Amino acid sequence: MTLKTSSKVKLSPQRALIKNRTWLVSLLSLIAFIAYLISYVLVLHNDTTIGSQPGASIENYMGLTSGYSYFVTTIFAVLIGLTSYNYLYKAKTVDFYLSQPVSKMKYFVQVYLNGLGIYSIITGISYVVMALIGASFAGGLKVILLHGLISYLGNLVYFLAIFSICVLAQTISGTNFISVMMALFLLLAELVIRFTLGAMASEYFATFSDWNGRKSILLTSSLDIVSSPIYNQLMMLQQVKLQEFHSIFIPCVIKNFLIAVVAFVLAFFAYKYRKEEYSGKPIVFRFVETVLKVIVGVVAGIWGGYLMSLFWDGNYATSNVVIVIGIILTVVIICAIAEIVFHLDVKAFKRKAWQMPIIAVVSMVVIFSIKYDVIGYDHYIPKESDVEDCAIALTYSGITYVTEKNGTHTTSNGDYAERYMHIDDVKSFEQIAKIGMDTSCAIEKGEWEYLPEGISKESLTSENSVYTVELIYRMKNGKNVYRTVNIPCDVSDDIMNPVIGSDEYKEAAFHLSNIEALRANAKGKGKDTLLIVDTGNMTSVSESTIDELIECYRKDLKTYNFSVGKNESILGYIEYDNATENYDYLNSSDFTWTVPVFESFSNTIAFLKEKGIYNEDAMDAPAIENINQMRVTTSNVMVDGSYIDEISYDVLDEAEQLEILEKIVPENMSCGYDFWDSSNKYEPLEVYIETKDNNYYFTFRTGNVPDCLKEPFANVIGH
C-alpha cells in the first residue's frame, strides 16, 4: 500500500488512506451486504416465531453466541490486517513512505486506526440497518438495538484481536506469501498444539476425558494461557450452555482484548526495529525463524511418530522403535523444508542441522511422557481438602432439556450433571474414582496389578462388564478436573451406595434439580402430557396431577440407591412432556422429563393406578391363540472378549411357546435416565411375538431362561 495525495487537495491522513484502499472498502461492503443484510432478511422471512421475541432473531443470528457472526468478523479482520502494511515488502514503496512528512511510528498508528475504522463503520452501519429490518418484522426496536449494540461490541473486540495478530504477522514477514502463512501460524498454532496434545492424551491416557471437546491435558480442565482469539471464541461458544452467559462472555472479551494489546505492542516494536533493507526476505527477524522451526518441527515430529506407530502390528514395547524412527524422519524433512523457505535456496536444506536432533529429542520427550504417563494423569485424585464438590454421569446417556432462564437446549446427560449435580461427600466419591481409574488402567493398558480388590480379570472381558462414566471435580480454586473411567458392574454396593443414594446425586440424575423452574417457564404455553412408555398409554393431564406425581416420585427416590438401580426391574418409564404447537428450537419453553419406575416405587405406582394412567394388563404378553409368530434372537453378544454371530430360533411348538410366555418380561427400554440400569439384569435374548393386531418385544431376567432355549443359546446365556 502506498500513500498518494493530490497536489491540489490536501486530504487528512485517514481520508487519504481510505482513498487508496477503495477496492478493499468496496469488497468488504459487498461482503457485509450479502453476509449480514441479505442473509438476515432471509432468516427473518423464514422465522415463524419472531413476533414472540423481537430481539431473539438478531441475537441468534448475529449475537454473542452466534458462530456465524465471528466467522464473518474473522474474514474482515484477516482481509484488513493482511493488506494494511504490505508496502513493507518492496524497496520502492518503503522508500516512498519514508519520504512522507510523517514519522515512521505515527504512520504505523494511522494505518492501524484506519483498519479499525473500516471495520467499525461498515459493521456498525450493517447492525443499525439489521436492527431496523428486524423491527419492521417484529417491532421492539429498542430491544433489538440493545441486543445489536452488545453483539457489536463483542465482535469489535474479537476483530481487534484477529486484526492485531495479522498486523504482527505482516511486521515480522518480508513477503506477502510469508505474511499469510505467518498469520495462519499465529492464529491456529494454539489450536493445533492443543489438538495434538489432546490426540496423544486420548490415545495413551486410559482416563482421558474429551467430554464436550474439553482437551484436558493438564490436571485442570484447560491450559490457562490463551494466545488464539479463535480458540478463545470456540471455547466460549462451547461452554456458554453450561454456565450463566455473563460468566463466560466477560472473561472471553477480556482475554481477546489482552491478546489484541499484546499483539499490537509486539507489532509496534517489530515495525520500529525492522530494517528496511530486509524487504523481500521471508522472515525479517532471525530468532523468529528458530521459534517457528522448533514449534512446527516438534508438532510435526509427534504426529510423524504417532502415525507410523498406527501401521505397526508389533507389541506395545517395540512400537517405541517405530515412533522414534517416525519422529526422526519427519523432523529431518520439516527442518530441511523450513531452511529452504527461510533462505529461498534449495541448497540451504542443510543449514543449522544441529537443531534437528534437539527438535527430535523434544518430540520424543513429549510423546513418551504422555505414553508412559510421567505426570501421573491416570492415577491423579485431587486432595479431598481442595475439592468443592463433585459430579458423576454416564457418558452415553442422553436427554433434551431446557434451562429455566435462557431457553438453551442440550443433548447430554453429562451436561445436566455438570450444571446441577453437587455431591458433597468427596471421600466416598474418590473411593469410586480410584476403582474406576484403576480398572481403566487395567483394561486399556494391561496394568492388571492395579485391578481393584475383589474384581477379577475374567469379569472384565465380557460385554457390559463396566459402566463408563464421567467424573467431575469442582476445585476450590475455580478449576474443574474431568476424567472418563470404567467402573466394574460387580463393584461392591457398599462403595457405591453413599454417592448414588445421596440426595445431591438423585436430584440431578433423575432431572429434578430444576423441574419446578422449567414447568413455571412452560406454564400455560404448552400441553401437559404423560406417556407410560412400556404400555404406550399417552394421557393429557392437569398441572395438579403433575405436581402430585412429582411429589410421589420424590418420596420413592428416598429409598433409591445403587443396589436398587442394579437389582430391581423397571416396570416402565414415565415421560412427562410440555409441548407447544409452534416449536422453536432456539427459544422454546418446551421440555421433556423421563424417568424409570422401579418395582419398589410404591407411591408412584399407586398414584398412577389411582389416576387410571397405569394399567398392568397392558404389559401382559398376548394370548397364545393370537400368536402368529414367535422368534428368539440374539446379536452383538461378546463372549470371551469377541463377538459371536447372531443366533435365531423360531419357536413353533405350542408347549415351548407357553413356557416362554410364563417367563418373559417387557424388554428393558433403557433411555439413559436410570443411571445404573445395566443390561446384565437381563439375558441377551430378544423375544419377538407377532399377532394379527400388533408386534411385541420381550426378554428374560438373568437366570430365568426357559429350558427349551438353553440348548440353542447355551453360548450366550449369562453373558
pLDDT-derived band at 541, boundaries 50, 70, 90: low
- Stretch 537-564: mean pLDDT: 80
134-157 residue pLDDT tens: 777 666 677 777 777 888 888 899
Name which of 157, 184, 134, 174 is nearest 64 in CA terms: 157
Predicted local confidence at residue 64, as pLDDT? 56
Looking at residue 408, what is its pLDDT?
Answer: 46
Sheet (strand 627-634) strand order: 647-650, 627-634, 686-691, 695-699, 665-666
The answer to which of 65-74, 76-85, 261-270 has the lowest mean pLDDT is 65-74
Cell reading at 465: 462388564
Which has the higher per-residue pLDDT, 680 or 548?
A: 548
Model pLDDT, residue 672: 39
Residue 189's contacts (CB-CB under 8 Å, 6 or more residues apart) are 227, 228, 295
What's residue 242's pLDDT? 46
- More confident call, 585 vs 104: 104
Q: Give Rg (Cα) of the chain.
A: 32
**Rounded to whole angstroms, how far apart are CA atoms 93 and 99?**
10
Q: What pTM does this model have?
A: 0.73
Q: How far is CA 63 from CA 144, 151, 230, in A?
A: 11, 5, 16
Note the pLDDT of residue 612: 74
In whole angstroms, give the CA distance from residue 700 to residue 64. 52
Among 101-105, 188-192, 230-234, where is mean pLDDT lowest?
101-105
Is the CA virtual torsion 201, 202, 203, 208 positive or negative?
Answer: positive
Which of 32-36, 521-525, 701-705 shows the lowest mean pLDDT across its residues? 521-525
- Residue 39, pLDDT above cutoff 70: yes
State the angle between helix axes of 176-204 and 229-239 in degrees (0 to 180), rounded to the nearest 10: 40
The total of other beta-carbon atoms located within 10 Å of residue 266's CB is 17
Average pLDDT over residues 637-646: 70
Backbone angles phi and psi of 218, in degrees to 5: -80, -165
Residue 520: per-residue pLDDT: 65
Ramachandran region, residue 407 (left: φ > 0; alpha: ψ -120 to 50; beta: rest): left
Q: What is the pLDDT of residue 295?
A: 93
Q: How far is CA 459 from CA 378, 465, 487, 491, 640, in A?
A: 22, 7, 12, 11, 10
- 648: which strand partners? 633
d(CA 330, CA 364): 12
pLDDT in tens, 46-66: 654 444 454 455 555 555 566
Query: Average pLDDT over the chain, rounded to whole?
Result: 78
Banded pLDDT at 222 (limits 50, 70, 90): very low
Cβ contact 634:625 at 8 Å: no
Q: Taken in order 9, 10, 15, 16, is the CA torsion positive or negative? A: positive
Cβ proximity of 591 and 518 under 8 Å:
yes
Q: How many CB atoms lie within 10 A of CB 410?
A: 19
The one-letter code for the residue type at 547 is D
Predicted confidence (pLDDT) per residue in 586-624, tens digit: 344 456 677 888 888 999 988 888 877 765 554 556 777
Rounded Cα–Cα distance for residues 551 and 376 (Å): 46
Mean pLDDT of 182-200: 89
Question: Which range scores top for mean pLDDT: 73-82, 390-399, 578-587?
Answer: 73-82
pLDDT attached to residue 579: 56
The DSSP letter of residue 173 is B
How much of the chain, in percent, has pLDDT values that exceed 70?
Answer: 73
Which helix (H) or strand (E) covers residue 109, if one does? helix 104-138
- Mean pLDDT, residues 361-385: 92
pLDDT at 412: 63
655 CB contacts (<8 Å, ≥6 apart)? 708
